[in-house]
Amino acid sequence: MKPILVRGQPLAQGALPAVCIPLVGKTAPALLSEARAAAAKQPHLVEWRVDFFEGIADASAVAGLAQELRTAAGVPLLFTRRSRREGGEAIALDEPQVADLYRVVCERQVADLVDVEMESPLVAPMVAAAGQHGVPTVLSFHDFQRTPPLQELLARFRQAKDLGADVGKLAVMPRSKADVLVLLQATLQASETLDIPVAGMAMGPLGAVSRVCGGVFGSALTFAVGQAASAPGQIPIDELRAALAVLRSAG
């Protein structure tokens, strides 16, 4: 597994993935409460799903709150706007406005990583803006309907690399146990052939196992529930940590 680096340092040590808690509050007080609760759980990083935030239209306020959340959580912050087409909330911003929001967040150095969807029409300038300010980019793709075939998943991981990702991330919905195996195989092959860290996860109840064992197959990142989930199949962090400890001791 290639670790995810922030300021040249790996988020997690050893062979297990970094554990991320999502923050999904709609208001600043709710988010700060989530961040303080996350700090007590000691994840490797937190993800602010800003599409849940009711004040998303004020870029300056978002940047200020991002800094507060990072301080409250005490760990690196991944800044993410998830679009409706990939499972996110409806927001009152168009894509150029989203790109401008990311530019402000990166300019002010208030996020340690940013997540940009590969399917965004403005993916190139958003990646460039992050790179200009030294903020690593997670290039992501989510399919809430199905698990694409192996070659399509591998092509998505390569697309992330080709677009300039520091981390490539795929999340898919399995309809069978075999789909989970396809996701894990794609993650393993991508981790062995690409020179960037990758993260692969299957969602929903069938995919929950991938959130536990994904690191064994090269996934550098997994998501766990602090107070609220951001995607189906996420496991409470205490339970996830216990399962990862079993894998660590067995390995």
Does residue 241 have a known ligand-binding role? no
From 41, 44, 142, 161, the catalytic residue = 142
Longest dimension (CA), the chain: 48
**What count of other Cβ atoms lies within 10 Å of the Cβ of residue 104?**
15
Ligand-binding annotation for 158, yes or no, is no
Angle, CA of 188, 172 and 39, to the nearest 5°: 85
Answer yes or no: are the C-beta atoms of 115 and 47 closer than 8 Å. yes
Residues sharing a CB contact under 8 Å with residue 230, sequence separation 6 or more, in sequence order: 22, 24, 47, 49, 82, 223
Task: Please indicate if the annotation marks 151 as binding a ligand.
Answer: no
* 9 annotated ligand binder: no
Write the DSSP assignment of 7-66 as a string of letters: TTEESS-TTSPEEEEEE--SSHHHHHHHHHHHHHH--SEEEEEGGG-TTTT-HHHHHHHH
Question: Any known ligand binding at 248?
Answer: no
- Which residues are 223's β-sheet partners? 20
Q: Is 211 annotated as a binding residue?
A: yes
* CA neighbours closer than 13 Å in the CB half-sphere of residue 231: 28
Q: Is 175 annotated as a binding residue?
A: no
Active site residue 133: no
User: Exactly one of 41, 44, 161, 169 is catalytic; which is it?
Assistant: 169
- Which residues line the annotated binding site for 3-dehydroquinate? 47-49, 82, 211, 230, 234
- Which residues line the annotated binding site? 47-49, 82, 211, 230, 234
Active site residues: 142, 169
